[in-house]
Structures are given as C-alpha cells and as structure tokens.
Amino acid sequence: MAFRLFEGAEHSSVYAKFRSVWTADITDRVLTYLQERHPAPYDHAIDVGCGSGQFTQLLAPHFKQVTGIDISSNQISEAIKGNQRKNITYKTGSGECFPIADQSVELVTCVQAAHWIDMDKFYAEAYRVLKSNGCVALISYTIPEFGAHPPAKFLTKLLGNYYDNLWRKSCCDEMLNRIKHLSNRYPDEIFACRPPLKDHLRDDTMAMEHDMTVEEVVGYASSSSSYVRYVKKYSSSDILETLQRNMLKTLGQDATLDTVLRVTFPVFILFGRKPG
C-alpha cells in the first residue's frame, strides 16, 4: 500500500524551508562506499523519494547527471523551484517503479523515505537500473537530540514526546508500524538489500550537527507529515505552541525564539551493491 503523505502545496513549502539538514560528510560516506566498488568517473545517480531535493543537490558535484524522483508532484515543484544545478532533473515517479532506463546509473539513494516504500519492489528496481558494481544507499536520521546534560536532555524529551503524541493520535496502525521502522533504524530483516544485490553494510556511526534557533526547531517540528494530519484532525489544537512554550520554559527566562541550540541528527545508512 502506497501512502500519499506529502501532497499539500503548503506542506511541501514548509518542508523545503525547514528540512535542509543534510551535510556533505554524509554524501562523502556514500561516495566512499561506491568508490571502493565502482571507481569514478560517474555518469548518473538517482535519489528516490527526493522531497524538495535536500540530498539530491549534494550529489550533483559528483555525477554528470542526477535525477530526483518523488511520488508527490508538490514536492517535485518545490525541488524544481529551489534547483540551482544544471545537471539535476526532477521527475514525479514512484519508489516502486523508477522512471529510469535499465543499467543506466551508478548510484541509487533513498533518503528519509524508505519506510514509506515497498522494499521488495524498490530493490528489484534498484537492481534493474544499476550498472554492474553500482550501489544503493538507504540514508535516514532519527529524532534530533540536544545534548546529554540538563536542560538540553529535557529538550530532547520534549521533542520525543511531541512526536509520540502526533504519531499516536494521527496515524493508523500501518503508518505507526512504518514510523517504528525509522525509529528502530531500519531493521536489517526488512531493509537490508536482498539477493542478487550483495555487500550489505550498515553504518550507524554518523551524525549531523546544526545550530538552530528555537523558532527553527519548532518550524522543523511542523514540517512532519504527521503534524499536517494531526492539525487536520484536531483543528483547534495548539500542540506546536505547547512545544514552543515548553522549550522556552525549559531554557529559562532569558530564552527567546532566537536562542540558538546545538542540534544533533543521528544518521544511519544501509548499503548494497549490484554484483559485476
């Protein structure tokens, strides 16, 4: 069953504004795995479930062409609007049936999207479009964290509770199940590449660090598809305002929306290769 969760134009625009979290060290890690199996130069990479192109853009310097694919035409419109690279093309298409020719790409990435996609079909498509020794990488992060000491530790708890509340009250069982896969860092038994793909490897060591204002963290929290569903269901809800109020209270009386926080996004990556 395909979920259509990122369909609203307004949601896509909020998503584009608050979700630019991907950093070049993550792309470098993916390229290292690829280079060890398929030496450069590279012709074509595809980014499946590309959203508004946050990760797609980081691939562009390393490939002659990059194609971002997403099931939501509003996400694709936002990606096209923000595109500053001549070698990136964005296409509407599904993670179960890529609009891409056989054996034409060296890399398939799927970033923060695999839990919404049928993995058997995704990997069959990855096998079809990859050249020999081309690679696939599922890349994601879990809920952001604010540090180990109070009050940062309490901020992490507040954000975790906010998401728990959204998920419990706005998601059906099947959606909850998929979100659980993300929180559990894509368990190998469901997400690891299958034969004839090989070389499954998991990297759980990376994290992205950002300085974000309280306002940006709250904006980030509003970009979740669960928040959009929650607000539709409970139109008079002040769940976001409550999060903001509790964050400011936790930070103390001098805190404002412009107070800057060090935010960590724990990253995990699952790799695979098409045999030569």
Ligand X SMILES: C[S@@+](CC[C@H](N)C(=O)[O-])C[C@H]1O[C@@H](n2cnc3c(N)ncnc32)[C@H](O)[C@@H]1O
Would you give the distance in Å from CA 15 to the centre of its chain?
11
Min dist CB 256 to ligand X, Å, is 28
User: Does 49 engage in binding with ligand X (CB under 6 A)?
Assistant: yes
Cα–Cα dist 144/128, whole Å = 35
- Give me the phi and psi of 138, to 5 degrees please: -95, 125
Among 8, 17, 19, 80, binds ligand X (CB under 6 A): 19
Among 72, 77, 156, 244, binds ligand X (CB under 6 A): 72
Residue length of the chain: 276
Comparison of 116 and 268: residue with beta carbon closer to ligand X: 116
Among 33, 44, 70, 227, binds ligand X (CB under 6 A): 70
Among 58, 111, 175, 261, binds ligand X (CB under 6 A): 111
Strands 105-111 and 44-48 turn out to be: parallel
Nearest to 53 by CA among 129, 111, 126, 3: 111
Min dist CB 140 to ligand X, Å, is 8
Among 18, 33, 42, 55, binds ligand X (CB under 6 A): 55
Sign of CA dihedral 18, 23, 24, 26: negative
Q: Which stretch binds ligand X (CB under 6 A): 69-77, 127-135, 230-238, 241-249?
A: 69-77
Comparison of 27 and 75: residue with beta carbon closer to ligand X: 75
Cβ-contact 199, 272 below 8 angstroms? yes
Among 65, 77, 95, 126, binds ligand X (CB under 6 A): 95
List the structure tokens of 240: 């976001």
Min dist CB 49 to ligand X, Å, is 3
Cα–Cα dist 238/240, whole Å = 6
Comparison of 152 and 182: residue with beta carbon closer to ligand X: 182
Residue number of the CB closest to ligand X reads 51
Sign of CA dihedral 116, 38, 84, 216: positive
User: Does 77 engage in binding with ligand X (CB under 6 A)?
Assistant: no
Report which DSSP code applies to 143: S
Comparison of 70 and 216: residue with beta carbon closer to ligand X: 70
- Give me the phi and psi of 128, to 5 degrees please: -65, -45
User: Does 27 engage in binding with ligand X (CB under 6 A)?
Assistant: no
Q: How far is CA 34 from CA 130, 137, 177, 261, 276, in A?
A: 12, 9, 31, 34, 13
Cα–Cα dist 209/141, whole Å = 12
Among 75, 156, 222, 226, binds ligand X (CB under 6 A): 75
Among 65, 112, 170, 244, binds ligand X (CB under 6 A): 112
Residues that bind ligand X (CB under 6 A): 2-3, 6, 19, 49-51, 54-55, 70-72, 75, 94-96, 111-113, 116-117
